[in-house]
Chain A
Amino acid sequence: MSETFADLIACEDALMFVNAAITSTGQREFRHREGGQRLSLDFLHRYTLANYRELYAAALALRINDHNAALIVLNLLAHAGDVGVERRRHEGRLIARRLELLPQHRVYRVFRELRRLGVNNRRTRAIVRDWLAGRRDPAFDAVKYRGAVKSAVRHAHLPLDGELGPFLFAPHGVRSFRTPIFERWRRAHYEQAALYGLPFTVAEGFAAKHEIPREVFLERIEPQMTRLERLRHQEGARKAGVDAVAADLGAMPLTRLASYVLSLPLDDRAARRAELTAALRTAAGRAAGAAAGSWGRVTAVLDDSYSATGSGQKRRRPLAVALAASFLLESLAAEYTPLWTSGRADELLLYPYGPTPLGERILDALGTAPERLIIISDGWDNAPPGLAADVLRIWRTRLDPARRVMIAHLNPVYDADDFDVRRLAPSVPAAGIRDAEDLATLVELARFAEGRLGLDALRAHLDAQTARFLEVTA
């Protein structure tokens, strides 16, 4: 294998980009403001697009976050002319597949952004057309995302059939719609009962217009709420005295569930301990799938220091990821030891507290003789600073040169200054993490960061991922 210097750099750049695309959402973090995050991320996108377009597009096949997926789609379409037809066709397939996976509102935001940037090539129009044609219920979409659909239709010059055209562009000239949801929307302007047949977010606007009391509104709109809307409004509804809004916690994705648990007051968590623990276990079991119990002896060092607070925009996100990962690792491992940096053991009652003595916890963790050591932390080791790096370096070079213990560091926070997630030591692979559910695949990806596998292996890995990603549609 002939690895050139350029290959090594390419490999590093690619991983840097993937890590950023997984972790950064352009929002405020504990240490960096959103302006810095956006600037840093924007640079990285431009750099990768210009230098490694192939890798840039392939990132769509990975579990990157929605914010970055939307940015990639946008950039690829805005700079479509730079590459040949064959490549463009491949990119188009990746984009189409990714748009199917993105939440609708994000897709509409991409379309809006395309319009703002004046990107209106033939392929863009085709992509908008195909995506809209693939929607299950165009009428429902038109009501829920009325402004966005209108803008997308106008931008892509799409012909409209049925009542969609009048509904979007001239609704006030219509006496009555034949499509039930359009009709409900029309009536909701003056009739309170009609708004309870509309999507929750739309009904909320009409409820404000009709000055319906919140508790009455929540009680009656409850059947229309989506799973996540239920989760989001559950606590608010309970405060308003409406118990009908109850999310089925067992069906929630793991990390979101962890976020929800951490948002509850400590007394509530203690009172609902059995219910919450069971829900977290179920979600973790589902995320682990067939791999449950196959990881052997696992020890995790988990960061619950004050910096796990996140920010006003990402409330307790790093802590939620660590909590979710802990439950997932519990179900993946045959024998599992969690070590929180604060030294607390009751996972359900965690809150961000104190400094980050990662070095000492890693020492404790290595003392349990694990087969795998997973570290989940933002990488700011400060009590004392640099001890974690020293411990990991000496462990790798002097105590375990044969690499019997597999060590991986997963970092939920993007460091805007370094264009990457913060690392603990060069000898320990680090990867960004957004949802704890991706933990297993990320540990896989982290191997490349160690520098022992080269660019060819990374390309192969990406190609395999891309193939699997596209296969589902075919």
Chain B
Amino acid sequence: MFRPDGLTTGPAQVWNAIRLVPLLREEPVPHLRLHRRVYEQPVSVVEVGDGTVYTAYVPHAFVATWSEDDRLPAASYGTRLLERDTRPAPPRMPVRTTRRMARKAGKDRLRFLPLHLAVEGYLALHFGGPEIVWEEWSRRAVARGLSPRCEETYLGSEVRGLEDALRIFEIHPGQCGVLVYVADALAGAFVTPHQDDYRALHPTLVEDLFGELIYMYGLLGAPAGDLSAGIDGGGIRSLADLRAAAARARDAWADFHDGTMAGGLRDPDGSRQVVQFLNGFELARFMPSFGLRRENHIGEAIVDEEGRLAYMKTFRLSDGQVRRGHLLKQLARHGWRLADTAASLGVGEAALALRLERSGFGHLLRQDVLDHYRAQARREGVT
């Protein structure tokens, strides 16, 4: 069940394979706004004057010119919480050096791929690699962990139909978030504390990052079906009855969506790591359980003191990424011993080693060890 405090699910809008489900807030989360610099014009934050502290946040990978000194725009690195109008700016990297990953969005505003850090380094962050040099692991794996490794992801504009779907989406009054479905597979969730922030960031969703699964589903382009159950005319004798039935249908949709469609977003076995804490807001990154054959989402979230979800951004891992994560998780659980892990998976050591290689982790094993396993597999006729 996905139903964060203070957010209600609105009616979905469908364009071909894309379904966008708005998340609405009756009132914005107070004291947290998008950092002023992210806007091209200054945000009109009302001065309260009684010492109330406003906190600002900068979503991961937003690009702005942060100060007079560095003229070049820079991308923030990971979502950060900031005191309002903090100088200097958050941890950032100049965009020029990362041209490959940055995309132009407007004259002097670019968008770096969000969650880029989390995706490219999600394995490295989560699993440092073996701490003990078992004889099979190469020296490099121990010294540097799993890096460098990069995961393949797709820009939102490459997901077929997403650009159009976002362009024609009719933003609801009070809308503070959206869930993106491609062929009714949840691609990601995005939540902001204030509706103006959402309006400012809505068009940038097309610059977001999506996994291979979502890209493929977009390419296949199966139109999303009609999920509204409709109203049964039976027993309706007046306009008031009809109105009540419409209200019931609306609630039924919200329940169905939160329970069934977005249910995979909450992973009871996932882990959560608090990154930053400021003025009562808590920024955390979460990792899924890497369970096979289920949805796995990674992401970032900001929660306020009362437990209201102020900001959230998730990314759905594709099946390949989940399998790799699963493999590493098993290895980590067994202290990075190949023999134990193979036993727990119910396969031979050689098979596990080859599976590691197939998953792109071949460079972690010592060359001679890998060759040994290869030879063994050949002998046994396993390819």
Q: Write the residues of chain A forming the contact surface with B, with a CB cutoff of 8 angstroms.
A: 30-31, 305-307, 353-356, 359-360, 363, 366-367, 382-387, 390-391, 393-395, 397-399
Contacts and interface: CB of A to CB of B under 8 A. Distances in A.
A355 B170 contact: yes
A391 B172 contact: no
A416 B83 CA distance: 51
Closest 10 CB pairs of A and B: A384-B11, A306-B170, A355-B170, A390-B231, A386-B228, A394-B233, A383-B11, A382-B13, A398-B233, A355-B172
Given A305-B170, A307-B168, A307-B170, A384 B239 contact: no
A382 B239 contact: no
B168 A30 contact: yes
Select the residue from B15, B226, B228 with max chain A CB neighbours within 10 A: B228
B261 interface: no
B170 A356 contact: yes
B242 interface: yes
A391 B240 CA distance: 12
Interface of B: 10-15, 164, 168, 170-173, 226, 228, 230-231, 233, 236-239, 242-243, 246, 249-250, 253
B interface, over-half SS: loop
A366 B12 contact: no
27 contacts: A31-B164, A31-B168, A306-B171, A307-B170, A354-B171, A355-B172, A363-B239, A363-B243, A367-B239, A382-B13, A383-B11, A384-B11, A384-B253, A385-B11, A386-B226, A386-B228, A386-B230, A387-B228, A391-B242, A393-B233, A394-B231, A394-B233, A397-B233, A398-B236, A398-B237, A399-B238, A399-B242
B233 A355 contact: no
A363 B233 CA distance: 15
Select the residue from B14, B226, B239, B253 with max chain A CB neighbours within 10 A: B239
Contacts of A394: 231, 233, 236, 242
Given A305-B170, A383-B172, A391-B246, 16 more contacts: A30-B168, A354-B172, A355-B170, A359-B246, A363-B243, A383-B170, A384-B11, A384-B250, A385-B14, A385-B226, A387-B246, A391-B231, A394-B233, A394-B242, A398-B233, A399-B238
Contacts of A395: 242
Contacts of B13: 355, 382, 385
A30 B165 CA distance: 11
A interface, over-half SS: helix
B26 to A, nearest CB: 16
Contacts of B14: 385
Nearest to B228: A386
Contacts of B243: 363
B252 to A, nearest CB: 10
A360 to B, nearest CB: 7
B8 to A, nearest CB: 13
Nearest to B10: A383
Contacts of B15: 31
Contacts of A355: 10-11, 13, 170-172
Contacts of A359: 246
B261 to A, nearest CB: 15
Contacts of B253: 384
Contact of A385 (B12, B171, B231, B238): B12
Contact of A399 (B10, B230, B236): B236
A390 B236 contact: no
Nearest to A386: B228
B5 to A, nearest CB: 23
A382 B11 contact: yes
Contacts of A384: 11, 228, 249-250, 253
A31 B226 CA distance: 19
Contact of B173 (A354, A366, A385, A390): A354
A415 to B, nearest CB: 13
B378 to A, nearest CB: 56
A384 B172 CA distance: 12
A244 to B, nearest CB: 36
A366 B233 contact: no
A439 B246 CA distance: 31
Contact of A387 (B171, B236, B249): B249
Select the residue from A356, A363, A384, A399 with max chain B CB neighbours within 10 A: A384
Nearest to B235: A398
B170 A354 contact: yes
Contacts of A363: 239, 242-243, 246
Contacts of B237: 398-399
A359 B236 CA distance: 16
Contacts of A393: 233
Contacts of A399: 236-239, 242
Given A355-B13, A363-B242, A390 B230 contact: yes
A319 B151 CA distance: 46
Nearest to B238: A399
Contacts of A307: 168, 170
Contacts of B230: 386, 390
A356 B253 CA distance: 17
Select the residue from B170, B236, B243 with max chain A CB neighbours within 10 A: B170
A355 B175 CA distance: 11
A249 to B, nearest CB: 31
Contacts of A383: 10-11, 170, 172
Contacts of A306: 170-171
Select the residue from A31, A355, A391 with max chain B CB neighbours within 10 A: A355
A231 to B, nearest CB: 30
Nearest to B227: A385
A412 to B, nearest CB: 16
Given A384-B249, A391-B246, A366 B239 contact: yes
Nearest to B229: A386
A367 to B, nearest CB: 6
Nearest to A390: B231
Contacts of A385: 11-14, 226, 228
Contacts of B173: 353-354
A384 B257 CA distance: 13
A394 B233 CA distance: 6
B188 to A, nearest CB: 21
Contacts of A390: 230-231, 246, 249
A387 B11 CA distance: 11
A384 B247 CA distance: 10
A393 to B, nearest CB: 7
Select the residue from A30, A363, A390, A393 with max chain B CB neighbours within 10 A: A390
Nearest to A342: B173
A388 to B, nearest CB: 10
Nearest to B247: A360
Contacts of B249: 384, 387, 390
A373 to B, nearest CB: 13
Contacts of A31: 15, 164, 168
A391 B164 CA distance: 29
A207 B171 CA distance: 45
Nearest to A369: B239
Contacts of B231: 387, 390-391, 394
Select the residue from A367, A386, A395 with max chain B CB neighbours within 10 A: A386
Contacts of B172: 354-355, 383
A223 B351 CA distance: 90
A383 B249 CA distance: 12
Nearest to B254: A384
Contacts of B228: 384-387
A136 to B, nearest CB: 46
Nearest to B246: A387
